Amino acid sequence: MAILHINEQEFEKEVLKSEKPVLLDFFATWCGPCKMLGQVLEQLQEEQTDYKIVKVDIDENPELTRTWNVTTVPSLFFLKDGEVKDSAIGFLPKPVLEQKLKAL
């Protein structure tokens, strides 16, 4: 499954009502650490099917960005059954992401 790039209209269905755990990434196209993280997320997505990775562009979705109080990118949220179980700000290496996802 490919990484989903979603907007505000798709958010509830793809994130809050997802049957699988979700790694939610708020990012910006101009953000260097976001680009580095994007490469790691691509690797993770290719290697598994137990969770889904969803990306939200903060510049294209300002209301969603405000609702989630995102002030720094990348901002990551780890959700299960529509609830935030963990979160992180900034670039995280692949082993740390894998550990957080396994904890879901």
Residue 9, CA distances (Å) to 57, 58, 77 in order: 13, 14, 19
Residue of 31, 41, 53, 76 marked active site: 31
Residue of 22, 23, 24, 34 marked active site: 34
**Active-site residue, 34 included:** yes
**Active-site residue, 31 included:** yes
Strands annotated E in the chain = 4-5, 22-27, 52-57, 75-80, 83-89
Active site residues: 31, 34
